[in-house]
Structure 1
Amino acid sequence: MSARAVRRSLPAGGAVVVTGASSGLGRECALELENRGFHVLAGVRRGEDGEKLVGESLRGRLRYAVIDITDDASVRASAELVEREYGGLRGLVNNAGICVPGPLECVDSDRFRRQLDVNVVGQLGMIRAHLPLLRRSRGRIVNITSGLGKTAVPYLGAYAAAQFAKEAMSDALRRELTPTGVRVSIVAPGAILTPMWDKVSEAGERLLRDAPAGVAELYRASFGAFMEGNGQQSTKSLTTPEDFARTVARALTDVRPRTRYWVGADARSAGRWARLLPDSLLDRRFSPITASVRAPGRADYAFE
């Protein structure tokens, strides 16, 4: 057989679970995978979100389940549903997540725990519950992170912490599960215009309202400018939800799946920065974000 005849991708088919499919990237991913030939169980937050998604499907191979990935009983129920309805599982796409924005000084413990609970602990719960099915089929796990899984920027520290943790978890799982035939890949998208950005902006405003007044005022101007700039970046981004969905499909069907798929030039750049630049240069690159922050009554000190 010639090199050109070597198969580069596997045929689509079998059951795939996609979490966080109510809107945005998860919704696009669920519809794309169904269109390609997979049977898709879309994890949604509310029944009405699922009904809307089913109404948008074209092939009759998409159904939904209300899954709270932070609730072990809900997670177990999703695995039982897959076993009962499909008899097996080809892939698990861990897309569900939230973003807690804001200066870390303003992020209270409950918000920080929630960030980690959804984006890390809940993801591992989904993996544990569905691994028996994935081992049986020698299936795939696709964990969705972002460019912030390699490079942390000011005012998205809580989100970056969760993404760093999910990257580490994915690397460890990949090495632990390789002997069983289960493959683990990361898909890391950059800025993409989705409804999530409105939610992030609202969450940032609430966070500053809840922070101590003096602390909130210290960051308000620079944080506001940062959030506005982030929104503009996503609006101007040439990367689309369709690009993301096609990349997830590749991670599920490539004969030799990559360990990491970058989606968008900004995500690829973040990965290169983290790999090649020293911390001092990265700090300098991000310093304009916080340039306007000045401690009130700051004095000059001489250290001997």
Structure 2
Amino acid sequence: MTNSRGAVVITGASSGLGAAIAEGLAGAGFTVYAGVRTEESAARALRVNPAIRPLMLDVTSADAIRAAGRRVREEVGDAGLHGLVNNAGTCVPAPLECVPPEQLRAELEVNLIGTVAVTQEFLPLLRARPSAAVPGEPVGRIVTVSSGLGRVAAPFLGAYAASQFAKEGVSDALRRELASLAVSVSVIEPGAVPTPIWSKVEETARQILAAAPEAVAAPYRARFEAFVALNDERARQSRTRPEAVARAVAHALTARRPRTRYRVGPDARAAAVAARLLPDRVLDALIKRQFADPAPEKGRAGAYEGAAR
């Protein structure tokens, strides 16, 4: 390997959080296999840092996952893999009554099934690394990027929240299954972060509502439009930068005792506290108040909402 700290695979590294994580880890001395889906994204990754090695990887394709695994195995050899960062994700925003089943399946296929499938492919390489230099330190590490919505489900993001709740559960099970094998599992829970995902979310949201029968969409329309506008505003105003998420990932990959969860941003931390302390009815009332007015006041953002990537 060209970099001294070992090799790391990252999914969904074309842009946004994934690109920031890849750049941060390459700068920190890792050889980074950056999962991308297009040649254009691969060329862009190479321009950022020569330690970033573009890896064609579509997490919904079994063939692509196997091919990526073969390439990484051939290149890392006996050194194995230091870490896997499951970052690939998508967001389907809409009232659940309006979400077509095929889009719900697509959401789960990327965010949940893809995460598990990629983890299964690379786990042998994570276990194959030589023993840690410091006794008790993990030999291999898995870091999964989830969301504040893995703790509290927001209205109109039910499909996304379902995938993030499931991702949290899978991560808990993996952490307990792999504890005796010296492979750590950490979850990153970002709050709102200004990345290109937000323009995609708004576009998808409007397409889904427009395609729904009017009798189904009408009862939700005003609140849903207010929700879309509020989320866009929160993302633009957020002071949590992609680099903060990248630093949390780096800590999980380098600390002697990585945390099980990293909450990045004040809204993500507030969501965790609310989920732990507030009764469901109280939390429901706070959330309902956010959307009582179809044109919410500027800046009136709730702490329960996490970020899509």
Structure 2 length as normaliser, TM-score? Answer: 0.89
Q: Which aligned runs of 4 or more in structure 1 are off by greater than 2 angstroms? A: 288-293
Q: Secondary structure of the equivalent of 1:64?
A: strand
Q: Does 1:38 align with 2:30?
A: yes
Among 136, 142, 161, the residue aligned to 2:128: 136
Considering only CA atoms, is the larger Rg found in Structure 1 or Structure 2?
1
Among 24, 30, 44, the residue aligned to 2:16: 24
Q: What do the CA deviations read for 1:132-190 (whole angstroms, capped 9, x no partner)?
A: 00111220000000100010010111100000000000000000000101100001100
Query: Residue in 2 aligned with 1:275?
Result: 276
Q: Secondary structure of the equivalent of 1:128?
A: helix
After superposition, the CA RMSD in angstroms is: 1.3
Q: What CA distance in whole angstroms lies between the structure 2 residues aligned with 1:97 and 1:249?
A: 19
Structure 2 stretches of 5 or more lacking a match? Answer: 130-138, 295-309
Query: Residue in 2 aligned with 1:202?
Result: 203
CA contact (8 A) 2:226 2:291 kept: no
Query: Residue in 1 aligned with 2:74?
Result: 84
Q: Secondary structure of the equivalent of 1:86?
A: helix
After TM superposition, the structure 1 = structure 2 runs for residues 1-304 of structure 1, keeping only pairs within 5 Å, are 13-57=5-49, 60-87=50-77, 88-137=80-129, 138-291=139-292
Q: What CA distance in whole angstroms lies between the structure 2 residues aligned with 1:234 and 1:281?
A: 25
Q: What do the CA deviations read for 1:107-136 (whole angstroms, capped 9, x no partner)?
A: 110010111110000100000000100111
Equivalent AA in structure 1 for residue 58 of structure 2: D
Q: Secondary structure of the equivalent of 1:43?
A: strand
Equivalent AA in structure 1 for residue 185 of structure 2: V
Q: What CA distance in whole angstroms lies between the structure 2 residues aligned with 1:292 and 1:208?
A: 19
Equivalent AA in structure 1 for residue 179 of structure 2: T
Identity over aligned pairs, percent: 51
Q: Secondary structure of the equivalent of 1:239?
A: coil
CA contact (8 A) 1:12 1:36 kept: no
Q: Secondary structure of the equivalent of 1:70?
A: coil
Q: What CA distance in whole angstroms lies between the structure 2 residues aligned with 1:115 and 1:292?
A: 29
The Cα of 1:291 is off from its aligned counterpart by: 3.1
Equivalent AA in structure 2 for residue 78 of structure 1: A
Q: What CA distance in whole angstroms lies between the structure 1 residues aligned with 2:290 and 2:221?
A: 12
Equivalent AA in structure 1 for residue 115 of structure 2: Q
Query: Residue in 2 aligned with 1:6?
Result: none
Q: What CA distance in whole angstroms lies between the structure 2 residues aligned with 1:68 and 1:62?
A: 18
Structure 1 stretches of 5 or more lacking a match? Answer: 1-10, 294-304
Structure 1 length as normaliser, TM-score? Answer: 0.90
Across the two proteins, how many residue pairs are aligned to each other? 281
The Cα of 1:217 is off from its aligned counterpart by: 1.8
Q: What CA distance in whole angstroms lies between the structure 1 residues aligned with 2:173 and 2:291?
A: 34
Distance 1:229-1:290 versus aligned 2 partners, 3 A rule: closer
Q: Secondary structure of the equivalent of 2:227?
A: helix
The Cα of 1:216 is off from its aligned counterpart by: 1.4
CA contact (8 A) 1:102 1:223 kept: yes
